[in-house]
Amino acid sequence: MARTKTPPSLSAVADAGRRPFFNFIAKRSGPFDAITLDRRRVYILPTKSGLMFAVLVLVLLVGSINYSKSLGFMLTFMLAAIGNVAMYVTWRNLVGLHLRSGGSKPVYARQPARFSVQLENTDASCRYSIAISANGYEYELVDVPAKALSCAHFEVASHSRGVLSAGRFRLETTFPTGLFVAWTSIELNMSTLIYPAPVDKAELQVAGTGEDGDTDLASVGLEEFSGLRKYQVGDSWRRVSWKRSAHTDTIYTKEFVGGKPERVWIDWNQVAVSDTEQRLSILARLVLNADAAAVIYGVRLPNQEIQPDTGSAHLHQCLRALALYGH
Amino acid sequence: MATKSARLDSIVVPMPLLAGLVLVGLPLYAYLSPIVLWYVFALTVWSALAIIGKVPIPSGSIRLLLAMVIVGALYVSYGAVFGLIPGTSMVLLLAYLKLFEIKTRRDITVIIFLGYFLASSLFFHSQSVWVALYVIVLAIYFTSLLVMVADRNASTSLLQRLKIALRMVLQSLPLMLIMFVLFPRIPGPLWQLPKDAQSASTGLSEEMTPGDINKLVASYDVAFRVKFDAPPPDNRNLYWRGLVLSDYDGKTWRRDNAPDWTRPEVEIYQQAGDDIRYRVTLEPHQHNWLYALELITGFDDNYRLTRELQLLSNNLVSSVISYRAQASLQASNHGLYPPERRKNLELPAGYNPKTLALAQAMRRTAAGNPRAIVQAVLQYFSNQEFYYTLTPPLLGNNAMDDFLFKSRRGFCEHYASAFTTLMRAAGVPTRIVLGYQGGEINPVDEYMIVRQSDAHAWTEVWLDDQGWMRVDPTAAVAPQRIERGIQSAGLEKQYLPGLLQVNSDVLNRVRFVWDSFQNGWNQWVVGFDEQKQLKLFKMLGLGDVSKSDLMLYLVVAMSFVGLLVAWWVIRSGYYQPRDRVRYYYRYFLKRLSRQGLEITEQDTSQEMLTRLKIKFPDMAEQASNIVKQYQDLIYGQSRNRGTEKTFVRLVRTFRI
């Protein structure tokens, strides 16, 4: 997650009001690393219920005039004034909220990417029912208790591998009356890696991988159990027979037949597909298979070589290399 | 944490809604017809059972059927589905039906809006302080339901929601007040009011059967209040004339007014200082007559005076109204056409033979002189064993015979009735006047209170040389009633209103204060109209204001107060002032950065302190102390008012 610009210093935030006017637009558009929703950033409009409420107030007003009921006027005006107060309160439910990018997890292409945003409420009362969403995806509702942090998530469609920045998302609330909706649209400095979408297993066969190599990568992980041997440094922990090891002092590793080597290379050149994206998708599947089979694997790309290893960090390093290939 | 749809997951929500409908319906029950009332009860029970899951929610076709039954029931009960009572009943019942088809949050909102509407309809029946308070409670409750709908995570408790709603209602008060005072009042209805826009209330009715008024005496309700321009006249001159009854069928006295085109013939003797000027604030009594002091010599233009000197309004008095009038004790009424003479001599044929005989005897003794006959009858009442009582026995067919010769116990209407019968039988035109007699000055606000218990009936006798002369036969039996008021009339105390029985100074004081409050409520809230608006501006020294001035004031005041309210809402209330420890820490950092120290949000405090040490070595110790205290306060357990104060002082005294 590379920072594109230096984060604003606290003094800059505090002195925002003294900036020249033409900075105004730039300041509003973001993206920001962190931002406090100030009053100019939160918009408000009546909801459909709010419009219905206005009609109700009008009906009551006409009724009070017609029947000359003084207390009818009183209630009418009270409801109108409640509407007015509701507007400020709804707006206030967002204003002053501090937002900070909360990170994200990499996903495979065409899966929705999920970003999290930290909402901090420094006020002494709870901010209820704040909905967060982006691009028409379903919203999530969060409450941010008094003097507390909450995490809210929104999803963004990912179309291709690479780096996806979160883009604009929308925070809105209708609390406490539902008569008004206050919202803001904001972009935080958030991005996530989109791994190439791995191909299906069936597609892997069609792609005809492994033809010239000594390893049939398509079937990695499909071996049969053959026996146990003593654990050696470098053996995958996933292959340790914990059941057996628990009964004795030694640690045993399960062995599998099939004669496949424990150490494999997943090589760009092994995949005979000319389309780069398709090739990366196949490589991603191979990497996942290798990880699932708990073999020790490395990845060779034209511009990069990742030494064989195992484990989750290694897996993500490999996928990351695939995701960023050529970028 | 997340609910992803506007649709409702469960039917838990309607229970508070049902409670709201019951709350808003309760005061309406008194006005509903029995069929509608049963229907409301049935729907209440049904929806309660449906909500707790004991019975299934009725399907669409059943709901349609129920709706049709509603229309039918309304039509059977009221003969209409429009108008005040049928309309309110309809909205109430439809709100109940809507409970069965809640699918989205908007459906709930619709029911809440119906609830607000029903709450406002309560004011058609009464505009008392109590109803106003009740409606405010309802407004708070329904607003808390709105909060419930808006709280889509369902994370608030009922108490929290009520608190939020209460706060919003409180914050709405300033603007409400501004609008109430400044919104231009357009007088009169915009369209024809439904016939049932009014409902029954206490007070004198259009006719009088002996036994009617003594029921009223038990009522402590205020009939009207009077503000005299000068000191009020004596109690014995306080005859508040209401309506005149001339037609008698042997049992009941009724009005028999002269035609509308006839004019009163009042003669005023020009004597200085005789005029009594006053303003009456009349409680709604659902009739068209007003009460005015005898003998009326002046009144507001929008009312009219009949030949019998009844002051009438064009509409029924269905809300508190206020009018000025003028009276003179010296004036006299000379209106008597031949048909009026005939009318005021008529008696039903074949009734009360003994009474007629007595009247003939008196007439002979008095040699036909009307004044002498009046004297004779009054003396008869005071010399014979007549009693003034609130519990007269029932009278038979020959009611006057029974009263005059058997029971001899009666209230004012018995005496007025018997007197009129005797006078008519003796050939003197006589009629009955209904109204109130007396009144009590409230020392708190100097208003005179006339209560239902002051209801009274007296008579008018025609004397050819003098015109109509007031004769109060009750005075012959119970002079204290006229001199000192109903509570001193020696009546059975247990039948008088509770508050008239006691003689405690403290209690009197309390009820006077309470009454002056109610009076103020009537004058300035219920009766707040165009004139009151103008009066208020005069009192504020703004002089005469036009409607456009009013609009201007409204806009200006609303913007000004609106801003104040916005400030109030945003600053305080929902959101308490910011954390001063954080505030002062930021202030501290800001000051450092102004001195050229580069600080970013990502810096740890250690990094910052290191940089500080390089740039301002002599400040480092003090600064690191501040940072340490800040961390103690935010992350440690030591936070309290004292340590906060120390921290703030530390930051404030920090000098670079």
State both tokens at A24: 């105004």
A26 has a pLDDT exceeding 60: no
- pLDDT value of residue B433: 94
Express each pLDDT in B551-604 by its tens digit.
Answer: 888 899 889 988 888 888 877 544 444 567 877 888 888 888 887 777 766 667
A6: pLDDT confidence band, cut at 50, 70 and 90?
very low
Asked if A188 and A99 count as a contact pair (C-beta separation under 8 A), the reply is: yes
Task: Dump pLDDT digits (tens) for A95-131.
Answer: 889 998 888 888 998 888 889 999 998 887 888 999 9
Which residue, among B332, B551, B653, has the nearest Cα to B461 in the 3D structure?
A: B332
Q: Which residues pair with A169 in a beta bridge?
A: A186
Given pLDDT bands bounded at 50, 70 and 90, which one contains residue A23? Answer: very low
CB A142 within 8 A of CB A170: no
pLDDT at residue A254 greater than cutoff 70? no
Q: Reduced to 3 states, what is the DSSP secondary structure of residue B189?
A: coil
Q: Does residue A277 belong to the interface with chain B, where contact is any CB pair within 8 Å?
A: no
Domain-wise residue ranges, chain B:
14-156, 213-350+425-501, 580-652
Q: Which of B225-234, B260-269, B457-466, B553-562 has the lowest mean pLDDT?
A: B260-269
What local confidence, expressed as pLDDT, does residue A20 receive? 41
For chain B, count helices (H), then strands (E).
23, 19
Is B402 an annotated catalytic residue?
A: no
Concerning whether B456 is annotated as a catalytic residue, the answer is: yes
Q: Give the tokens for residue B481.
A: 């009633």
What are the start-end ranges of the E strands in B423-478? 430-437, 440-441, 448-451, 455-463, 467-471
Q: Which of B187, B527, B582 sits opposite A70 (nearest CB)?
A: B527
Q: Indicate which of A35, A71, A114, A118 best probes the interface with B, i.e. most B CBs within 10 Å of its own CB.
A: A71
Mean residue pLDDT of chain B comes to 83
**Taking the CB of residue B122, how many other CB atoms lie within 10 A of it?**
23
B627-652 confidence digits (pLDDT tens): 888 888 877 777 777 888 888 888 88
- Nearest to A139, CA basis, from A106, A173, A188, A162: A173
User: Is B150–A175 a contact, with Cβ atoms under 8 angstroms apart?
Assistant: yes
Token pair, residue A194, equals 């989109």
Query: Residue A238 gets which letter from DSSP?
Result: G
Asked if A76 reaches chain B (Cβ–Cβ under 8 Å), the answer is yes
Catalytic residue, chosen from B107, B212, B402, B412, is B412
Chain A positions in Cβ-Cβ contact with residue B193 (cut-off 8 Å): 66-67
Q: DSSP letter for B324, please.
A: E
pLDDT of residue A13: 41
Contact B210, B395 (CB under 8 A): yes
Are B176 and A140 an interchain contact pair (Cβ–Cβ within 8 Å)?
A: no
> Residue B195 and residue B191: Cα distance in Å, rounded?
12
Q: What per-residue confidence (pLDDT) applies to A266?
A: 86
**Residue B343 above 70 pLDDT?**
yes
Helices (H), B217-304: none
Please list the residues that pair with B281 across neighbouring strands: B225, B322
Lowest mean pLDDT among A118-127, B103-112, B119-128, B193-202: B193-202
Question: Quick one: which of A322, A325, A327 has its CA closest to A197?
Answer: A322
Structural contact between residues B429 and B435, judged by C-beta atoms closer than 8 angstroms: no
pLDDT of residue B169: 95
The domains of chain A are located at 34-195, 197-222+261-327, 224-257
CB-based contact B418:B325 (threshold 8 Å): no
Closest among B431, B417, B435 to B474, alpha carbons compared:
B417
Q: Which residue pairs, CB below 8 angstroms and at least 24 apart, start in A154-157? A: A154/A114, A154/A115, A154/A117, A155/A112, A155/A113, A155/A114, A155/A115, A156/A112, A156/A113, A156/A115, A157/A110, A157/A112, A157/A113
What pLDDT, on a 0 to 100 scale, did the predictor assign at position A25? Answer: 44
Instruction: Check CB contact of A120 with chain B, cutoff 8 Å.
Output: no
| Averaged pLDDT for residues B445-469 | 89
pLDDT band for position A28 (cuts 50, 70, 90): low
Q: Are A191 and A225 in contact (CB under 8 A)?
A: no
Residue in chain B nearest A73 by alpha carbon: B180
> What percent of chain A stands above pLDDT 90?
23
The separation between CA B182 and the C-alpha centre of its own chain, rounded to angstroms, equals 21
The residue with greater pLDDT, B543 or B471, is: B471
How many Å lie between the alpha carbon of B578 and the closest alpha carbon of chain A? 6
The reply to whether residue B150 touches residue A178, judged by beta carbons under 8 angstroms, is yes
- DSSP conformation class of B368: T
**Cis peptide bond N-terminal to B592, omega within 30:** no
Distance CA A85, CA A88 (A): 5
A246 touches chain B (CB under 8 A): no
Interchain pair B566, A88: CB under 8 A:
yes
Q: With an 8 Å Cβ cutoff, are A140 and B529 in contact?
A: no
pLDDT score at A226: 60
Task: Report which DSSP code applies to B314.
Answer: S
Q: Tell me which residue of A174, A176, A162 sits closest to A277, measured CA to CA.
A: A162
Record the tokens describing residue B346, joined without a space: 């008529």
Secondary structure element (H or E) that encloses residue B247, with its range: strand B247-248
How far apart CA A158 and CA A113 sit, in angstroms, is 6
pLDDT one-digit tens code per residue, A152-170: 999 888 888 889 888 889 9
How far apart (Å, rounded) are the C-alpha atoms in residues B37 and B69?
Answer: 13
Contact A174 B4 (CB under 8 A): no
Rounded to a whole number of angstroms, the distance from the CA of A115 to the nearest CA of chain B is 15
In Å, the largest CA–CA distance within chain A is 98
Where does the pLDDT of residue B125 fall: very low under 50, low under 70, confident under 90, or very high at 90 and above? confident
User: DSSP letters along A8-41, please?
Assistant: PBHHHHHTGGGS-TTHHHHHHH--BSEEE--GGG
Contact A79 B577 (CB under 8 A): no
Cis peptide before B473 (omega within 30 of 0): no
Chain A contacts of B153, Cβ < 8 Å?
Answer: 128-129, 141-143
ipTM here: 0.76
CA nearest A13 in B: which residue?
A: B590
Percent of chain B whose predicted confidence (pLDDT) is above 90: 23
Query: What's the order of all strands across the beta sheet hosting A107-108?
Result: A107-108, A191-195, A162-165
Whether residue B335 has pLDDT greater than 90: no
Higher pLDDT, A7 or B162: B162
pLDDT recorded at residue A9: 40
CA angle A48, A49, A52 (to 5 degrees): 90
pLDDT of residue B384: 86
Q: Do B169 and A65 touch (CB under 8 A)?
A: no
| pLDDT tens-digit readout, A271-309 | 777 888 888 888 888 888 888 887 888 898 888 888 888
Asked if the Cβ–Cβ distance from A71 to B180 is below 8 Å, we say: no
- Name which of B109, B125, B127, B105 is nearest B25 in CA terms: B125
Instruction: Give the confidence band of A270 by pLDDT, cuts at 50, 70, 90.
Output: confident
- The per-residue pLDDT for range B264-302, each reduced to its tens digit, is 887 776 665 678 899 999 988 888 899 999 888 888 888
Sorting pLDDT into bands at 50, 70 and 90, what band is B509?
confident
> Is the pLDDT score of A5 beyond 60?
no
A123 Cβ under 8 Å from any chain B Cβ = yes
Provide the CB-side half-sphere exposure for B381 (13 A, CA).
Answer: 29
Q: CA B612 to CA B608: how far, in whole Å?
A: 6
Find the closest chain B residue to A124 by CA distance. Answer: B576
Best mutation target among A13, A70, A126, A189 (most B Cβ atoms within 10 Å) is A70
Whether B275 is catalytic: no
- Partner residues linked to B280 by β-bridges: B226, B323
